[in-house]
Every structure is written in C-alpha cells, then in structure tokens.
C-alpha cells in the first residue's frame, strides 16, 4: 500500500487581541516603534497585589466591534453568547473571528464538514464575584462563613450557567457553533505551552487528511484576581518600577521576574491546495514542531532539556543555519532565561553563529496561554516585512544568557522557530517558513 505524501499546511489569516492593539498592523507598528504595553493595572483592586503594573489588552472592551466585520445574524449570536463568556473566552472568540475575516474565509469558501477548530488556553479561573452573593447569605451572626447554609441559602444565588463562562473548551465550542464548523474540534490546556501545541495539533490533523481548514488560536490572562494572586505566590514576578515599561527584561542582567499580561491570537491553517483554489493570500507555511515534558524531579535543568528537545524536533530535516531567527519564551526570570539560553546554545552552538533571538515579552510580559500565539504572529509579520524588532530593556547582556539578541536592523530570514515552556517543564515549539 502506498503512503500518500503529507499535505503542505499554510497560514492564510491572523487575528490578534493584545496589550499592543487589536490587529496585526497595531502589533507590528508597536514593535517597530519600541512601544511597550506595560502600565498601571486598571482592572484589579489597588493594594490586593504586591505589584501595581501589568500589560492589559485595554483596547479590547468586549464591544461587538472588537470582533471585526460580522453579518447581523452572527453579531446577534455573539452578543447573546457573551452572557456565558468570561473575558478570556471573549478575547479568544474575537481573535478567531478576526482571523476568519483576515483570511476571507466565509461560508462560501469553506466546507463546514472539513473545517474545524483547535484552541489552547490556561485553566480558566472563576471571578470571585460569581460567588459573592451566595457567600454573603451564609455569614452567621459572628461574621463567619457557615458552610452548612450553602446548599439552602448560598447555592441558589449562583448563576446556574456560571461554569460555562470558565470551561477551557468553550473558546473552540463557541467558534465552531457561531461559524457552523463541523470538522475536528480540540482544546488544549497547557498553560504557556498551549499555543505551539495547538499549532502542532492542527498541522498534524491537516497533514493526515482529517481536515482542510482549521481555526487555530489560544487565549489567556494573568491579569485576574485569582490568577495574579497565584502567580505572586508561586512565581518570581518583576517588582514595580517608577517606569513600568522597564519591568519586563528578558535575558538582561537586571531582570527580576515576569510581568502579568493578557491576550489572544488566532490563525487560519489550511492545505496549500485549498488556499490556492480559493485564491487566498498565503502568509507562511508550518514546516515543523516539537513537544516535550521534563519534570524538575527528573532533572534540575528541566527547562533547558525540555526546550532543547523541542527545538531539535522543530528543526529536524533542515540545518540550524537555515533558521532565520528564534522567537524565545524569554519570560524574564533569572533561572528561566538562563536555562533557555543554555538550550539555544546546546542546539545551535556558538551564540555568535546561532540565529538571532527576539523576545516579544519585553513588550507585553507573560500573556499566559495567549502569549505564544501573539509571539508567533509577531514573527510571521517580521517574515513578511523582512526585518525584526528591537528588544526592550536589554541594556546589560547577562553572561549567564549568552544569546545574540536581534534588533530592528536584523533580517528576519526565511523561517523561524518559536518556543514556549511552562514552569513545570512542558515545552513546545513550532517552525514556520516563508511560503515558496
């Protein structure tokens, strides 16, 4: 039996919701201008957290206009659905609708049974307001919470549909329902590793012939009452500075930790045959990926090993010299950046001969599961323009992070590798090339 050749998978549209704007033009303009998205957090109560600054997607208000051009019927459906969407899900759905519009992939140019959705997210946390009224009803005369009252007095105060607002499979569900996409549908919850995992799953699904088109995206927020508290207790966060834009400092000797952010992005992946048949503009081609998990108990250098594993997998079949640039995870922590730099050296050798490195988190911090997809879009736009962008706050190169940082004069090359890793050691990478 003959085995058919894998189908080529191309990118034909993108959508972005992030601290630098709600479309690719705004994102690229901010990167080229060196404009940071970090500033005072407006959506969280002052004094509740050890930091006052982060990177909010302030241009995203939840207005139906944020979802791009929509037919009236779709506008009504999304407005109705917003009642059961938290902000992360709203951003994810909006990014997908923007990508569909950017790709001109309307219902007349797709087979609904061969078009699906793959979406990544964090585990999405409930807002405390969902339970406030119920808890208040269970306070006894001494001002203490009495759990024995919960079933009778507290639970009836909770919206019966509250869980639908926070399930991590809901972005993919909403996108498929609104657009009548009946093909493969999958949701991946791998924290920061989710975006490249979603792209890899979509690439594999299309390559093996199970779909012609997939809407692929990820959404996340660390600007959230519970998420921000968890991060402040479990991870090194950059302390406030007089100039908030100086807080996120990937690979810099003066880096102190990650910056909280929020955002989402999506892409349209389809077979080359499908894209060319409908006359779509092809923005790039997915040509490799990698996935690995290395637990800290297995190796004290678990982040280095996991990242080296995924980069090797992503560049398999090509020489390291053909990689135009590396879009690094670059979260800004002491240990994380040092291990990532070591992984790059392990795979690509001498830093001065290795591909140049970009660190978009210097502009908008850690967007959780949304970050990696926004970062891939940034590199994809750089392939198109031919030039990369300056790193922010890279003032003093750290000898512990021997990487060759790119700047606005550095050519983007013909292909790039983008990597992400969680603190637990789940790593993913994707390799995308200029379409030829």
Beta strand ranges found along 89-212 (DSSP E): 115-121, 185-189
Q: From CA 220, how far away is CA 369, in angstroms rounded?
A: 5
9-125+166-433 has which CATH code? Answer: 3.40.47.10
Q: What is the pLDDT of residues 72-98, one digit of tens each?
A: 999 999 999 999 999 999 999 999 999
Indicate if the pLDDT at residue 131 is higher than 80: yes
pLDDT surpasses 60 at 3 = no
E strands within 226-274? Answer: 262-271
User: Model-level pTM?
Assistant: 0.96
For CATH 3.40.47.10, the residue range(s) in the chain are 9-125+166-433
In terms of pLDDT, which residue wins out, 1 or 432? 432
**pLDDT, tens digit (0-9, with 9 covering 90-100), for 185-233:** 999 999 999 999 999 999 999 999 999 999 999 999 999 999 999 999 9
Give the tens place of pLDDT for each residue, 257-275.
Answer: 999 999 999 999 999 999 9
Q: Rg of the chain's alpha carbons, rounded to an integer?
A: 22
pLDDT of 1 over the 50 cut = no
Q: Output the CA torsion 7→428→25→434 (10° steps).
A: -40
Distance CA 428, CA 195 (A): 8
Q: How far apart are the first and last CA of the chain?
A: 30
Per the rule left: phi > 0, alpha: psi between -120 and 50, beta: everything else, 62 is: left
């Amino acid at each position: 039996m003959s085995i058919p050749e894998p189908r080529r998978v191309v990118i034909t549209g993108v959508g972005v919701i992030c601290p630098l704007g709600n479309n690719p033009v705004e994102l690229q303009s901010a990167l080229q201008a060196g404009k940071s998205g970090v500033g005072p957090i407006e959506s969280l109560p002052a004094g509740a957290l050890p930091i006052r600054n982060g990177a909010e997607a302030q241009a995203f208000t939840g207005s139906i206009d944020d979802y791009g051009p929509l037919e009236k019927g779709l506008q009504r459906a999304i407005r109705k659905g917003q009642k059961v969407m938290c902000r992360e899900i709203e951003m994810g759905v909006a990014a997908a609708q923007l990508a569909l519009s950017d790709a001109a992939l309307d219902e007349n140019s797709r087979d609904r049974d061969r078009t699906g959705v793959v979406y990544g997210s964090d585990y999405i946390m409930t807002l405390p307001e969902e339970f406030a009224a119920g808890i208040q009803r269970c306070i006894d005369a001494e001002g203490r919470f009495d759990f024995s009252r919960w079933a009778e007095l507290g639970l009836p105060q909770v919206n019966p549909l509250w869980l639908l607002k926070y399930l991590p499979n809901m972005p993919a569900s909403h996108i498929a329902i609104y657009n009548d996409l009946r093909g493969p549908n999958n949701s991946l919850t791998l924290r920061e590793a989710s975006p490249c995992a979603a792209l890899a799953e979509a690439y594999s699904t299309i390559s093996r012939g199970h779909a012609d088109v997939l809407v692929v995206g990820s959404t996340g927020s660390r600007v959230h009452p519970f998420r921000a508290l968890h991060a402040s207790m479990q991870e090194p966060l950059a302390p406030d500075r007089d100039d908030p834009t100086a807080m996120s400092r990937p690979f810099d000797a003066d880096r102190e930790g990650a910056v909280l952010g929020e955002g989402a992005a999506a892409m349209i992946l389809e077979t080359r045959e499908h894209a060319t048949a409908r006359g779509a503009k092809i923005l790039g081609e997915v040509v490799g990926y990698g996935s690995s998990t290395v637990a800290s108990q297995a190796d004290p250098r678990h982040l280095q090993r996991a990242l080296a594993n995924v980069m090797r997998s992503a560049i398999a079949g090509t020489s390291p010299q053909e990689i135009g640039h590396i879009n690094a995870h670059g979260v800004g922590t002491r240990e994380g950046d040092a291990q990532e730099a070591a992984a790059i050296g392990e795979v690509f050798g001498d830093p001065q001969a290795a591909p140049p490195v970009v660190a978009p988190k210097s502009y908008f911090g850690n967007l959780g599961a949304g970050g990696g997809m926004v970062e891939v879009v940034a590199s994809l736009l750089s392939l198109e323009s031919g030039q990369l962008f300056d790193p922010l706050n890279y003032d003093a190169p750290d000898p512990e992070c021997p990487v060759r940082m790119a700047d606005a004069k550095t050519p983007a090359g013909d292909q790039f590798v983008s990597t992400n890793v969680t603190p637990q050691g789940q790593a993913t990478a994707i390799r995308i090339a200029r379409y030829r």
